[in-house]
Amino acid sequence: MDELFSFQDRVILITGAGRGIGKAFAEAFHKRGAIVYGTGSRKESADHMNAFGIQGRVADATDPDAMPGLIDEIMQTHGKLDCLINNSGISSDTPASFFKEDEMEKILNTNVKGVFRACQAYFKAHRKKGGVIVNVASVLGLYGFPLASIYSASKGGVIQLTRALAIEWASSGFRLNALCPGFIETDMTARMTGKAEYKSKAEEGIPMKRIGKPEDLVGAALFLASPASSYMTGQVLIVDGGLTAQ
């Protein structure tokens, strides 16, 4: 049974690993013996990762050349990449009627096109070996929520992208699944969780009566990245304290 969840000497690439959910993932895989590469948007993030045994790299999700270059580096060094976890993303609470073109494009370029570019680069580099991809989406990609129009659209796109690529690449030995967190305490949700009255209201709407922590998602990520989920592809795994079960 332990072999199902063993990551000893497996090579894992996690985007957006400098903080929040991505950082929790990187630390968990590293503790279990994996060789972990993590991307961040700033040099300080990469340096912080390196200090904790993660191979930190600066990479911009909107740069078409960033992920192919990094994956090529990993392949040259290790000859393989066992799993790609696409965690990078940005959000906005701009009202729909006030969205401007540049903000909309930035969210879609990061959250959808950035994920696709990473998936495509991994597939091209690893198509003869197969692979595992976990795309971090959101419950807001499944259900409507105010002040989240473009973010919700982008995460819905990630879910559908995951499903489509899972079907298209199954014959090449690739598995793709989406992980959908609910409300998690991160920098991205600080506008809500940082204010006691907003946090309390949000917790009341969650059956488990608490906001999640990044560590609450680690088990799901380990499962989706491991042989324990070897017959699972094109699926959406929701971790939200029961929010969407109501």
Task: Please report the DSSP string for 25-47 in residue order.
Answer: HHHHHHHTT-EEEEEESSHHHHH
Report helix, strand or coil for 91: coil
143: annotated active-site residue: no
Total-model pTM: 0.96
Count of C-beta atoms within a 10 Å radius of residue 20: 21
Q: Is 75 exposed, middle or buried (0-12, 13-18, 19+ CB in 10 A)?
A: middle
pLDDT in tens, the chain (246 residues): 467 888 999 999 999 999 999 999 999 999 999 999 999 989 999 999 999 999 999 999 999 999 999 999 999 999 999 999 999 999 999 999 999 999 999 999 999 999 999 999 999 999 999 999 999 999 999 999 999 999 999 999 999 999 999 999 999 999 999 999 999 998 877 766 667 777 888 899 999 999 999 999 999 999 999 999 999 999 999 999 999 999
Buried b (16+ CB within 10 A) or exposed e, 99-118: eeeeebeebbbbbbbbbebb
CB 13 within 8 A of CB 83: yes
- All domains of the chain in start order, with CATH: 2-237 (3.40.50.720)
Q: Which amino acid is at 181?
A: P
* Active-site hit among 37, 122, 151, 231: 151
